[in-house]
């Protein structure tokens, strides 16, 4: 039963309310508006502005609705003359120190103070009080926004968002009286105080004090159109509103969607400010074909004809498996579905893969083996609200998945959650952790085995769970008995006491969740690492309940979806094995073809190897950039050079597209319809916000045309119809339709039109029945440092950029803030090599050599260098090792041996 409701009377009407509500919450729920300048539902109320005052019978004074808890049977007035007069005076007083420059203020039309003044202050009372205009003026102007003190009304919202949502501590209310202002203090810029430009403080400013640069002169609030859509960057899947100017056809600003369940108020710098690429002049506007070594503009028909002819020719000459397709974790589910349909039904090959191979292939293989389903077991909010302990291993969450990062920081700040961070680098979350285990790159199996050994020794395992829900525990236990804790800790280069403490903290917690990412997966032992984490979760009974689970954070906006709808070489949509005869029959029937192959296809790295060998002659790539994202890209580039026929469908002429024979201009996320599936398996809408320029065609339409040319006669009017087809053939998506996910996305498995979706996987039983323990032994990385290459290189991402930088490096503000790669090297190593912070250095591996800038820091351990792979001028993947995990075929991006030199 729900909490017992109580009744209050508001403006003569009886309302039923929850006893835990404040007056503001209770009354707002009944759609009665109470004005406020300092309240936000996601923040703790402070009652600072007093605009929300209401009159409560038998209460001596007016009370702030936002911070007064309701009392049963109270009688309340929200618009009595006493209330209105109080608000009127407050607004008048605010106006005395506020510049009345509304005619040129960028906030006009969406300014809360302007709105209140319009409603409450009659003309004759305007300027009745004379106040002091503050002396301080512009305080901050950076790449993304500015803070203008003269407009500040000192509501404190920006400070509270910084404290409670972003947990960055950048801002504080400083000084006193008229001179009170939000500031980072000590004359520092925001960035110097640690600002990561999330812009969350800007988004809550009720007046024109904090304003994004992009809105300046770009249109009045009421001229803009709002489109709710899903962010195109990482796998968090933030819901955001694109505000576009229909006249200039440009995006003006981005805000988080009010009341959404995924990200709430928060966005990160990429989501809020990273959309310059959409209208970038370097976008491809017309199909291009390479003629005599140069790209020339052609018609769509000529491009389609040529592609059709070449694909058919190669297929005829060498069979369907001489062609390969790379689909895209950046594109929608509908597009990925059509792409795999093109490969499978039109061509008859399973040679289809995408960059999931490079990030979470080992998750899919590992978790499928242990649990039966290779996805995040729990949900983002469940994790950050219910976990007593979170083990973060191999995930630099605040940079790679910033909004999940802030939610974890919030949980720690509120004292609900304790963190164990296991990472070779001192990542930001390490500062929030109880224990930071700084393991040697590539030693994760040893670390996790050591934790389990302690958990078993201390009797902290969940016997009931192991008995009832798992199999294979004894083998694991025996294996662990054979190795000593000392040896394991030595391999991982971790202090035994720290490890014990971490294991006990994890083992004792009632709810303990594991969060991991590429630090676990991108190893030749990636699958082993994932299996070990599954072991750790099962041994402590931390699966299938709120605040527990094994939670891989997926990298790309739709990498989960691209996998779900069959963008993998061994499975049809919904992870149905291609080698299974029944599946073949089912899909032949559904697609009206008879040529489906039951031979699993090749993976990303294998495809490039076969291209190099000449066994694959034609490749069709949609929205992927293997010439920068794959390991050992010298090898990839020589393969692409040899390749007979390459089609690239993208927004820009990427490093890969330079090798293409045909380039097709696709549409960006803001120009098309569809769905993305985020890391918590939530299928969410992507909506068209602006008309695109030139002759670009939405990727799903391009693919449909290709399908038609190969005799697959489906005609889809819209992505909605494609989703209906996906739902028909994909059991885990069978309940999904555009109607149902219009407002709030659903989480798969969603089996049926009335199924509410699944927040937590494996609640009663595992997808595979019983959870399976795997006894795993530690295996060394494929390449270890030696005399010639004495240092370990590990690669990853930074907050501001995304992947190969095709999008973020075209964002003016982001580019200005992080224009070049700065590779992290430990102080001691730097000293030994006579390298100073900011020096130009070379990094060389057995596969290549690059130049970069040194960032000397103690946040990385001795003997390890960290590079991001965003910058093509310092392409980390010229160095990385293309050795593969034998099961998942994921390359070892996280460990290779290098030497560092000074230029």
Closer Cβ to other proteins, 168 or 518, answer by number: 168
CB-based contacts of 682: which residues, under 8 Å, 6+ apart? 237, 262, 379, 745, 746, 747, 757
CB-based contacts of 882: which residues, under 8 Å, 6+ apart? 605, 630, 631, 632, 635, 847, 891, 892
Instruction: Work out how close the CB of 158 gets to other proteins at its nearest, in angstroms, rounded to a whole number.
Output: 11
Specify which residues 791 forms β-bridges with: 898
Closer Cβ to other proteins, 185 or 614, answer by number: 185
Gap between the Cα atoms of 159 and 169, Å rounded = 8
Closer Cβ to other proteins, 183 or 881, answer by number: 183
Gap between the Cα atoms of 864 and 824, Å rounded = 8
Instruction: Work out how close the CB of 418 gets to other proteins at its nearest, in angstroms, rounded to a whole number.
Output: 15
Closer Cβ to other proteins, 71 or 188, answer by number: 188
Gap between the Cα atoms of 206 and 182, Å rounded = 14
Structure token digits, residue 655 = 């490093």
Instruction: Work out how close the CB of 326 gets to other proteins at its nearest, in angstroms, rounded to a whole number.
Output: 45
Please state, in angstroms and as integers, the Cα–Cα distance from residue 455 to each residue in 420, 503, 548, following that order.
15, 6, 17
**Cβ-contact 465, 538 below 8 angstroms:** yes
Instruction: Work out how close the CB of 363 gets to other proteins at its nearest, in angstroms, rounded to a whole number.
Output: 34
CA atoms within 13 A on the CB side of 601: 33
Question: H or E element: which one contains 662?
Answer: strand 662-665
Instruction: Work out how close the CB of 155 gets to other proteins at its nearest, in angstroms, rounded to a whole number.
Output: 15
- Describe the strand order of the beta sheet including 6-10 as a list of residue ranges: 13-17, 6-10, 75-77, 53-56, 63-64
CA atoms within 13 A on the CB side of 782: 20
Residue 156 burial (C-beta neighbours within 10 Å; 0-12, 13-18, 19+): buried
CB-based contacts of 15: which residues, under 8 Å, 6+ apart? 7, 8, 9, 26, 27, 30
Closer Cβ to other proteins, 183 or 200, answer by number: 183
Helix (H, G, I), strand (E, B) or coil at 300: helix
Closer Cβ to other proteins, 171 or 782, answer by number: 171
Instruction: Work out how close the CB of 184 gets to other proteins at its nearest, in angstroms, rounded to a whole number.
Output: 5
**Cβ-contact 505, 389 below 8 angstroms:** yes
Cα-Cα-Cα-Cα dihedral of 68, 74, 79, 80, to 10°?
-120
Closer Cβ to other proteins, 35 or 184, answer by number: 184
Closer Cβ to other proteins, 48 or 168, answer by number: 168
Closer Cβ to other proteins, 175 or 312, answer by number: 175
Closer Cβ to other proteins, 176 or 764, answer by number: 176
Closer Cβ to other proteins, 149 or 277, answer by number: 149
Closer Cβ to other proteins, 127 or 185, answer by number: 185
Instruction: Work out how close the CB of 194 gets to other proteins at its nearest, in angstroms, rounded to a whole number.
Output: 8
Instruction: Work out how close the CB of 647 gets to other proteins at its nearest, in angstroms, rounded to a whole number.
Output: 52
Instruction: Work out how close the CB of 839 gets to other proteins at its nearest, in angstroms, rounded to a whole number.
Output: 26
Packing angle of the helix pair 300-318, 699-709 (nearest 10 deg): 50
List residues near other proteins by CB under 8 A.
168-176, 183-186, 188, 193-194
Gap between the Cα atoms of 551 and 433, Å rounded = 18
CB-based contacts of 313: which residues, under 8 Å, 6+ apart? none
CB-based contacts of 893: which residues, under 8 Å, 6+ apart? 358, 518, 522, 631, 795, 869, 877, 880
Closer Cβ to other proteins, 185 or 319, answer by number: 185
CA atoms within 13 A on the CB side of 437: 34
Instruction: Work out how close the CB of 186 gets to other proteins at its nearest, in angstroms, rounded to a whole number.
Output: 6
Specify which residues 622 forms β-bridges with: 649
Instruction: Work out how close the CB of 431 gets to other proteins at its nearest, in angstroms, rounded to a whole number.
Output: 9
Instruction: Work out how close the CB of 384 gets to other proteins at its nearest, in angstroms, rounded to a whole number.
Output: 21
Instruction: Work out how close the CB of 174 gets to other proteins at its nearest, in angstroms, rounded to a whole number.
Output: 5
Give 793's DSSP letter: E
- What is the C-alpha radius of gyration for the chain, rounded to an integer number of angstroms? 29
């Amino acid at each position: 039963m729900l909490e017992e409701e109580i009744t209050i009377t508001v403006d003569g009407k009886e309302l039923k309310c929850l006893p835990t509500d404040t007056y503001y919450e209770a009354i707002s729920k009944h759609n009665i508006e109470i004005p406020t300048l300092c309240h936000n539902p996601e923040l703790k109320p402070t009652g600072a502005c007093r605009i929300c005052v209401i009159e409560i019978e038998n209460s001596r004074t007016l009370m702030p609705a936002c911070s007064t808890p309701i009392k049963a049977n109270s009688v309340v007035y929200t618009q009595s003359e006493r209330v209105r007069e109080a608000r009127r005076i407050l607004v008048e007083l605010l106006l005395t120190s506020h510049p009345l420059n509304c005619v040129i203020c960028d906030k006009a039309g969406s300014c809360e103070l302007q709105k209140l003044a319009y409603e409450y202050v009659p003309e004759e009372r305007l300027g009745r009080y004379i106040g002091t205009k503050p002396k301080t003026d512009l305080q901050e102007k950076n790449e993304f926004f500015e803070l203008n003190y003269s407009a500040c009304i000192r509501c404190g919202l920006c400070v509270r968002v910084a404290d409670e949502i972003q947990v960055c501590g950048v801002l504080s209310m400083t000084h006193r009286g008229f001179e009170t202002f939000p500031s980072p203090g000590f004359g520092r810029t925001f960035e110097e105080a640690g600002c990561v430009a999330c812009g969350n403080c800007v988004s809550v400013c009720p007046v024109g004090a904090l304003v994004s640069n992009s809105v300046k002169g770009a249109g009045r609030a009421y001229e803009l159109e709002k489109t709710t859509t899903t962010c195109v960057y990482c796998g968090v899947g933030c819901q955001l509103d694109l505000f576009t100017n229909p006249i200039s056809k440009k995006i003006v600003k981005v805000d988080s969607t009010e009341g959404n369940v995924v990200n709430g108020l928060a966005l990160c710098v990429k989501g809020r400010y990273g959309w310059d690429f959409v209208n970038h002049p370097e976008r491809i506007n017309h199909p291009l074909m390479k003629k005599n070594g140069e790209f020339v503009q052609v018609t769509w028909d000529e491009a389609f004809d040529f592609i059709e002819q070449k694909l058919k020719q190669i297929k005829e000459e060498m069979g369907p498996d001489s062609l390969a397709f790379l689909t895209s974790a950046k594109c929608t589910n509908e597009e990925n579905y059509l792409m795999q349909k093109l490969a499978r039904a039109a061509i008859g090959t399973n040679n289809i893969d995408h960059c999931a191979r490079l990030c979470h292939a080992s998750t899919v293989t590992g978790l499928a083996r242990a649990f039966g389903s290779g996805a995040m077991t729990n949900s983002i909010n469940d994790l950050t609200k219910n976990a007593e302990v979170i083990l973060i291993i191999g995930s630099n969450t605040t940079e790679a998945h910033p909004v999940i990062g802030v939610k974890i920081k919030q949980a720690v700040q509120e004292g609900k959650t304790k963190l164990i961070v296991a990472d070779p680098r001192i990542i930001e979350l390490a500062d929030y952790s109880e224990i930071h285990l700084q393991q040697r790159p590539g030693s994760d199996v040893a670390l996790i085995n050591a934790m389990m050994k302690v958990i078993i020794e201390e009797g902290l395992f969940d016997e009931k769970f192991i008995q009832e829900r798992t199999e294979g525990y004894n083998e694991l236990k025996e294996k662990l008995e054979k190795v000593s804790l000392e040896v394991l800790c030595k391999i991982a280069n971790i202090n035994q006491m720290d490890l014990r403490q971490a294991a006990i903290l994890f083992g004792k917690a009632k709810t303990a969740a594991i969060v991991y990412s590429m630090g676990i997966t991108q190893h030749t032992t990636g699958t082993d690492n994932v299996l070990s984490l599954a072991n750790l979760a099962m041994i402590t009974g931390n699966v299938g309940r709120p605040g527990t689970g094994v939670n891989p954070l997926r990298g790309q906006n739709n990498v989960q979806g691209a996998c779900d709808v069959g963008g993998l070489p061994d499975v049809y949509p919904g992870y149905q094995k291609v080698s299974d005869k029944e599946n073949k029959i089912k899909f032949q029937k559904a697609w009206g073809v008879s040529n489906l192959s039951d031979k699993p296809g090749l993976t990303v790295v294998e495809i490039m190897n076969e291209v190099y060998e000449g066994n694959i002659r034609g490749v069709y790539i949609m929205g992927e950039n293997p010439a920068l994202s794959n390991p050992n890209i010298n090898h990839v580039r020589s393969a692409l050079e040899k390749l007979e026929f390459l089609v690239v469908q993208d927004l820009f002429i990427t490093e890969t597209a330079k090798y293409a024979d045909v380039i097709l201009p696709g549409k960006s996320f803001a120009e098309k319809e569809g769905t993305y599936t985020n890391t918590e398996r939530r299928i969410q809408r992507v909506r068209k916000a602006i008309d695109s320029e030139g002759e670009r065609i939405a990727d799903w339409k391009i693919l449909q045309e290709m399908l038609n040319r190969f005799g697959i006669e489906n005609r889809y009017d819209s992505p909605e119809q494609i989703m209906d087809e996906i739902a028909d053939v994909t059991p885990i998506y069978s309940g999904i339709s555009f109607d149902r996910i219009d407002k709030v996305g659903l989480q798969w498995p969603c089996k049926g039109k009335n199924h509410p979706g699944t927040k937590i996987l494996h609640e009663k039983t595992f997808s595979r029945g019983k959870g399976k323990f795997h006894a795993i032994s530690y295996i060394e990385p494929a390449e270890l440092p030696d005399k010639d290459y004495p240092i370990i290189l590990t690669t990853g991402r930074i907050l501001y950029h995304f992947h190969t930088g095709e999008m973020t490096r075209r964002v003016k503000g982001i580019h200005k803030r992080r224009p070049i790669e700065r590779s992290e090297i430990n102080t001691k190593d730097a000293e030994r090599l006579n390298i100073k912070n900011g020096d130009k250095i070379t990094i060389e591996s057995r596969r290549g050599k690059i130049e970069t800038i040194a960032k000397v820091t103690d946040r990385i351990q001795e003997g390890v260098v960290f590079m991001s792979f965003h910058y093509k001028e310092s392409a980390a993947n010229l160095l990385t090792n293309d050795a593969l995990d034998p099961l998942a075929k994921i390359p070892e991006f996280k460990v290779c041996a290098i030497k560092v030199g000074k230029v």
